[in-house]
Amino acid sequence: MIRKQRAFDRLRVLALASAALAVALVSMWSSGRMAAAQQSRQPILIGVLAPFSHIDGQSIVNGAQLAADEINKSGGIDGRPVKLMLYDTHLSAAEAVRAMQRAVQQDHVVAMTGVFTSEVALAVEPWAARLKVPTLYTGAATTVITEMVHKDYPTYKYVFHPFTNSHFLAEEVCGFAKDVLVGQLHYKTAVEMSEDADWTKPVDASYKQCLATSGLKVLDYVRFSPNTNDFTPIYQKIEGLHPDVILTAIAHVGVAPTVQWKQQRVPALLAGISGQAGSTAFWKATNGACEGVVTQTTDAGGAAVTPLAATFSKAYSARFGVDPAYNAFSEGDAILALKHAIDAAKSTDGDALVLALEKVDFVGLQGRIAFYGRDDQYTHGLRYGPGYVTGVNFQWQNGKQVVIWPEKIAQGKIQLPAFAEK
């Protein structure tokens, strides 16, 4: 009898232990599943670097916010909302580097976007490599960004450039010059006027190659400090050369040279690349002095570059009260590219995102978005040309942005200011 009782007690102890183990396992499994579920609902943090007080910096921030909000309205990325972490660079390379470090090491962003100037971009690029965080530049233009990736892919593979680089920007201006300035207006001479910045060096080099083939003779290449306030001596020198057109490469500055061109009634059309002129905020900033100015940009005035671009422009204008500058479109495409990459990779790991970003291919705001490969000169740069991304040239006419080139999506013809007529 005693033996039977002892056997029964052992069985009861074993049963109780088994039950306790089962409860523990279920509890652990449930806790793990709950933790995974909670993790899956955590926001995906994306950093945005921009100078908040600058016209083009505002466009970066606004473009990112609009794109992120649209993604979240559609369910986010794999059910997780996108949350933007905004960092003001104050146009300072040192401040941008500190913000980059804080974003990755403290705030735990999975990717960085933005950056307006090439000087800031080149200062941040080594940190993208050290921190192993995908970084998508949307406002800087220098070709050096992607040339560094090409020369040392293992180190700089985390850097992508979803914006048209300086060389291609110049090519666009030359295409416009050939078709419109020479073909329609029969212009023969030009002066190129560039701010002294990293992004304009490749522009100048490309201008020298392609403007001659467009049919324009370049009389002089003028470079000036971005700190220049008085453009009178520069314009006096240019007037003495009697060019038909002044082709600019400006972005750090924009208001002063534009206002003084109008005030001094410089007898030459002002065209080329003017980064700030892309936003309708520029009309107010110049008090309308930009009337008649022509600039190359990504998109303008709701032109039908892509169906998504027209919708984006309308939504942007309704929400922020101004039309987007060029880098609102490139910033929006950067956020969309990250969504495509995270969806494809099923991960926010930096190396996994690099591989996924290399394969993105979708029609975005600027055109068909895809990146050059490892063997291309501009590795991880935005693919440029027919079928991918090409820009537009618009002119300020009666306070509105009117696309005048390329012809297939033009909204009007070029009109010359009275003082610039030949």
| CATH T-level topology, domain 167-297+392-420 | Rossmann fold (3.40.50)
What average pLDDT is seen over the chain?
91
Instruction: Let me know if 232 is exposed, middle or buried by CB neighbors in 10 A (0-12, 13-18, 19+).
Output: exposed
CATH 3.40.50.2300 for the 44-164+307-369 domain, yes or no: yes
Interaxial angle between packed helices 326-345 and 350-357, expressed in degrees from 0 to 180 and rounded to the nearest 10: 110
List CB contacts of 149: < 8 A, sequence separation 6 or more.
156, 157, 159, 379, 380
Do residues 162 and 329 touch, judged by C-beta distance below 8 A? no
Instruction: Let me know if 347 is exposed, middle or buried by CB neighbors in 10 A (0-12, 13-18, 19+).
Output: middle
Same fold, 44-164+307-369 and 167-297+392-420: yes
Kind plus residue range of the DSSP H or E element containing 23: helix 2-40
Rounded distance between C-alpha atoms, residue 92 and residue 95, angstroms: 5
- Measured CA angle at 362 (ends 361, 363), to 5 deg: 140
Q: Tell me: the pLDDT tens digits for 316-328?
A: 999 999 989 899 9
Going by pLDDT thresholds of 50, 70 and 90, the confidence category of residue 10 is: low
User: In a 3-state reduction of DSSP, which class is residue 260?
Assistant: helix
Domain ranges across the chain? 44-164+307-369, 167-297+392-420
Q: Tell me: the pLDDT tens digits for 152-194?
A: 999 999 999 999 999 999 999 999 999 999 999 999 999 999 9
Q: Tell me: the pLDDT tens digits for 362-404?
A: 999 999 999 999 999 999 999 999 999 999 999 999 999 999 9
DSSP secondary structure of 46-74: EEEEE-TTSHHHHHHHHHHHHHHHHHHHT
Read off the tokens for 85: 């972490």
Which of left, alpha, beta for 301 (phi over 0: left; psi -120 to 50: alpha)? left
